[in-house]
Amino acid sequence: MQTIQITLPDFIVTERAEISFIIASRLYEKGKLSLGQAAETAGVSKRTFMELLGNYNISVFNYSSEDIETDFKNA
């Protein structure tokens, strides 16, 4: 596992867990991590991760329009 060190200005007050969640959710949104991998990265269960995604306006259903169209044609 990689370790990343981030320097934030003093006026940014946030918890380490929130930073981990933000990074994990963004990587999930971009398709770099699966739901399970993102939850593990954030240090929470899959269920908790899915519930928290809504707080950041990120959909649990991470499908591209092409994937949706292909699924629709195959249905």
Q: Please list the rounded mean pLDDT of every run of 10 residues in the chain (75 residues).
A: 85 89 93 94 95 89 74 80
Cα–Cα distances in angstroms (integers) from residue 38 to residues 17, 25, 30, 58, 71, in the given order: 13, 6, 11, 13, 24
The pLDDT value given to residue 22: 93
The pLDDT value given to residue 60: 86
The pLDDT value given to residue 27: 94
The alpha-carbon radius of gyration of the chain (Å, integer) is 15
The pLDDT value given to residue 35: 92
The pLDDT value given to residue 38: 95
